[in-house]
Amino acid sequence: MSIKLDLKDWKILNQLDLNCRQSDSEIGKKVRLSKQVVNYRIKRLLKKKIITSFFPHINVSKLGYATHKIYVQLRSVSNERENDIWDYLISQPSILWVISCSGKWDLIFGTGSKSIEEFDNILTDFMNKFSDNVFNRQITVFNKATLHHRKWILNDKKDVSWLIGGRVQQKPIDELDKKILSLLNKNAKMSIIDIAETLKESSSRIIYRIKQLQEKGIIGAFRTSINREKLELNYCKSFIYYQGKTTEKENQLLTYCYQLPNILGVSQSIGPWDLELEFEVKNYDEFHHIMKEMKNKFPLIRSFDTVYIEKEYGESFLPRDI
């Protein structure tokens, strides 16, 4: 069942999507509402489950983790067996996120590992348990991605994005940093006072550490997860194959993608396809219109595959062994 929001709600959601750690007063000044009204409306959006969580974007590359994605087509799988696969994947500390989907793939999951041997162990353990149900699989090595603010909320022309990935390097963090990351991963809107009281530290020290985690590139952004079903939104991925690739042609396509109002993510990996895009759309017709127009505009695109995402686990990408 969908829920109708008014313009004030959308303005608040827009600010929360840009930075959910903004105070009610800061949001109020930007949307011309009192902090009391902002607070009331955020609580109402949470109660109605329009907002499902507040989370940080964690760049695991800055924590020394390489990311691989595994794409799976299933066969001979009952609902019970599919639930077993799902439960297994979300219980594994080295698996950062999982999506259940339909279309080209049935299941996609991402892993964080500090060596190729560690990744091989993760994949081998999965295949040992579920190879009878795997019809086909592909693997990509994640390079980098831009994650984009939901421009569609207010039809905003300005693109705000955050970069994750890049060179794998171990940025120094200590146990306090890890505890802060863990708390923010549970609720990125948790107040400084509550974090300080929980960790028995001063507020000034917590503020400094969060700032340091951002400056090191470990925390990229503080975002908001929404209930797409209640807002009548669909979540889609496209996998784009190139022909006649040059850096100039690819950069022109990337620039175009960044400006699309419905874009959520633009991911570049090493694997069978060249580019992976994520969208939130009103319906599948809108998605296909976006992709058809893109393909007609850029001869670089030879073809593309599509998946429709049904369920998602793990938005922050924080490894659970942190």
**Which residue type does 147 have?**
L
Q: What tens digit of pLDDT does each residue of 141-159 get?
A: 999 999 999 999 999 989 9
The overall average pLDDT reported for the chain is 95
Residue 1 is predicted with a pLDDT of 52
Contacts made by residues 47-51, CB under 8 angstroms, sequence distance 24+: 48/3, 48/230, 49/227, 49/230, 50/3, 50/5, 50/9, 50/13, 50/226, 50/227, 50/230, 50/231, 51/13, 51/16, 51/224, 51/225, 51/226, 51/227
**CA 257 distance to own-chain centroid:** 17
Please compute the mean of the pLDDT values over residues 23-43 and round it to a whole number.
Answer: 97
What is d(CA 291, CA 298) in angstroms, rounded to the nearest whole number?
A: 11
Q: Where are the domains of the chain?
A: 7-54+169-226, 61-149+228-313
Q: Which CATH number fits domain 61-149+228-313: 3.30.70.100, 1.10.10.10, 3.30.930.10, 3.40.50.300?
A: 3.30.70.100
**Cα three-residue angle 97-273-58, rounded to 5 degrees:** 30
**Helix, strand and coil in the chain, % to nearest 5:** 40, 30, 30
**Distance separating alpha carbons of residues 37 and 160, to the nearest angstrom:** 26
Strand, coil or helix: 191: coil
Segment 173-193 mean pLDDT: 96
Q: Per the structure block, which two tokens stand in for 32?
A: 């011309």
Q: Residue 92 above 80 pLDDT?
A: yes
pLDDT, average across residues 153-167: 93
**Proportion of the chain above pLDDT 90, given as a percent:** 94
**For the whole prediction, is pTM greater than 0.95?**
no
Top-tier CATH class for 7-54+169-226: mainly alpha
322 against 197, higher pLDDT:
197
